[in-house]
Amino acid sequence: MSLSNTQYEAIISGYERTRDQNRHILEERRAQVYRQCPALRRLDDSVSEISVAQARQLLEGDESALDTLRKSLQDIASQRATLLKEAGFPEDYLKPIYTCPDCQDTGYLQTSEGLREKCHCFRRQEISLLYEQSNIQDMVARENFSTLSYSYYQGEDLERFQRAVHICRNFVQSFHQDYHNLFFYGTVGTGKSFLSGCIANELLGAGYSVIYFSASGLFETLARYAFGSREKEALSAFCSDLYGCDLVIVDDLGTEVTNAFVTSQLFSCLTERHLRQRSTIISTNLNLEELRDRYSDRVFSRITSNYTLCKLTGPDIRMQRKVANHAKES
């Protein structure tokens, strides 16, 4: 699965707009600083004069010209930092502005072998275009930590939910340095998908790539590519994204029609992502015994060994909300 020319051009155009916007911000900053500190403008103007003079010296055979130029530029940089500080500006106020410092808003990184590869910010946009992410966009809009409430839980149900929230917050905070997986299970409507949405919202906002699938949608997609006579290349590209993106969320595991193909593909996905140390979140209404019986001992072992298990119980919150909303309307 790859971007169409139109999709690719849309992403590249977005980078161009970002660079233009950031250049405009920098120009406004420079004009502001020059108004408040004319000495800094004169200092900046001297850079080109010194560079030209030292280049002429180098061409005339002065081998020390390059070292002299470096020292002069270092002195100017030190003076600039002092002038900015005295004028009340941060030292980096006039440095180039990048929305993504890693690729400097180009979308591409230079590898150690001198090749170009897509930056993580490009991959995030690519995944958003390639996969139907409307479900996750709707989810994070209404289900995030800012809308979290403990009011629907009591007793042991509340304790379990509080523990799960604590685990989710730690998952987000340590995501850039630690490899973790989460498995939410328990009764219907107790907040499993909600917590997945909370995590997705935080990580998408931090620039990570997230792919969300309902279990039925994931296995239907895999089956379509696997059994399509002309879809082998698409299957390879899809699996590359599925196994390699920063976070995969599989929601409502157990609602799909389970068969040998589904069990095999689930195990492959879990294994490949574990080997690549890529995090996965799974939610299900199945209990652990039902999980083992439905998906085999291999899948059960993979999940119970490599995932933090979060059991959620209590009343169906979605049903409670519907009843409450109906009462208000009445």
CA distance 169 to 202: 9
DSSP output for 82-112 = HHHHHTT--TTTTSPP-SSTTTTTSSEEE-T
CATH assignment at residue 144: 3.40.50.300
Q: Which helix (H) or strand (E) holds 309?
A: strand 308-312
One domain, residues 15 and 145: no
Spell 270-298 as b/e; 16+ CB within 10 A means b.
beebbeeebbbbbbbbbeeeebbebbbee
Q: Which residue has the tokens 């083992």?
A: 292
One domain, residues 162 and 298: yes
Tens place of pLDDT for every residue, the chain, 330 residues? 567 788 889 899 999 999 999 999 999 999 999 999 898 888 888 877 777 777 777 777 777 777 777 888 788 888 888 888 888 998 889 999 999 999 999 999 988 888 898 898 898 888 877 765 546 667 777 778 888 889 889 999 999 999 999 999 999 999 999 999 999 999 998 999 999 999 998 998 888 889 899 999 899 989 988 887 666 777 888 888 899 889 999 999 999 999 999 999 999 999 999 999 999 999 999 999 999 999 999 999 999 999 999 999 988 887 776 766 655 665
Q: Residues with Cβ < 8 Å from 298, sequence gap 6 or more?
A: 267
Q: 109, 143, 166 — which closes off a domain?
A: 109
One domain, residues 175 and 231: yes
CA distance 305 to 72: 60
Q: Is residue 123 part of a domain?
A: no
Residue 65, domain extent: 5-109
3 state DSSP class of 183: strand
Q: 50, 75, 109 — which closes off a domain?
A: 109
One domain, residues 57 and 141: no
Instruction: List the structure tokens of 45.
Output: 């103007």
How many domains, the chain?
2
Q: Is residue 124 part of a domain?
A: no
Angle, alpha carbons 298-291-227 (nearest 5°): 65
Please tell me the pTM assigned to this model: 0.73
- Sheet with 279-284: strands ordered across: 210-214, 247-253, 279-284, 182-186, 308-312
One domain, residues 55 and 203: no
